Amino acid sequence: MNLLLLKTDQIFGNEARVTGRQLKHLRTVNQLAEGDSVRVGELNGLMGNASVKQINKDQAVLSITLDSTPPPPLPLTLIMAMPRPKMLRRTLQSVSSLGVKKIYLINSARVEKSFWQTPLLSEQAIEEQLILGLEQSRDTALPQVYLRKLFKPFVEDELGEITAGTAGLAAHPSGVSNCPVDIKTPTTLVVGPEGGFIPYEVEKLENAGVKAVKIGPRILRVETAIPVLISRLFPA
């Protein structure tokens, strides 16, 4: 945790109170004592520093100063086929830490129906993973996550509006072109399931103006492919 991210209900004027997971981290990992300092931020707000006024097994009381802005977001909308629940947790943390602020989880022919039943898709569970990513990368702006369980209606009714004014790219092993590098324009990136999109889905995406691109001959897991793609598109 490189940034202690505070919710509004934890902040009282120039003080903040910390309990639960965050308190445990401050005590056991950071090993903070009274008088020590720690970097803090307010969720969807400013960042700054805090001094520990009191810390024990029940809570930490911090004196906080919030005076700096978070890093700019990536000009990227990420659309990815619903991954395995175990992979979903890691992927949400990863894309949150990379600065992605708009994420769509969509269905695909190779997505198992059971994936959509996971409790990890609850609003609270998703937010928890996103916050872990923000704390890792020192950011405060919480990404927005949208669930779309029907592929065809999403592509036909929503995708065109989402990609308007952006470069629409779909990562697919059979893509004719290589994924561009340092694209310098707002981008919509579509990433399929581990087995890839089926031909029908690739055709629907291309008809919606999304270009299929590849990153090489190797087939990567979603949690690996997405950071690779983002690092190509926005290396800075």
Burial of 165 (0-12, 13-18, 19+ CB in 10 A): exposed
Q: What is the pLDDT of residues 143-161, one digit of tens each?
A: 999 999 999 999 999 999 9
Burial of 45 (0-12, 13-18, 19+ CB in 10 A): middle
pLDDT value of residue 216:
80
CATH number at residue 24: 2.40.240.20
pLDDT value of residue 166:
96
**Residue 82 and residue 187 in one domain:** yes
**In the chain, which residues have pLDDT < 50?**
none
**Residue 128 and residue 163 in one domain:** yes
**Residue 27 and residue 135 in one domain:** no
Q: Is the pTM of this model over 0.75?
A: yes
pLDDT value of residue 208:
92
pLDDT value of residue 194:
81
4 pairs with which residues across the strands? Answer: 40
**Residue 129 and residue 203 in one domain:** yes
Cα distance between residue 41 and residue 28, in whole Å: 20
The tokens for 58 are 């029940």
Looking at 27, 48, 68, the residue that finishes a domain is 68
3-class SS of residue 106: strand
Are residues 60 and 170 in contact, defined by beta-carbon separation less than 8 angstroms?
A: no
**Residue 133 and residue 187 in one domain:** yes
pLDDT value of residue 196:
85
**Residue 104 and residue 192 in one domain:** yes
* Distance from the first to the final alpha carbon of the chain: 23
CATH number at residue 119: 3.40.1280.10
Domain count, the chain: 2
**Residue 8 and residue 96 in one domain:** no
pLDDT value of residue 1:
84
In which domain, by residue range, is 91 found?
Answer: 76-233
Looking at 68, 94, 114, the residue that finishes a domain is 68
**Residue 178 and residue 90 in one domain:** yes
**Residue 180 and residue 149 in one domain:** yes
**Residue 60 and residue 122 in one domain:** no
pLDDT value of residue 176:
75
**Residue 59 and residue 165 in one domain:** no
**Residue 147 and residue 220 in one domain:** yes
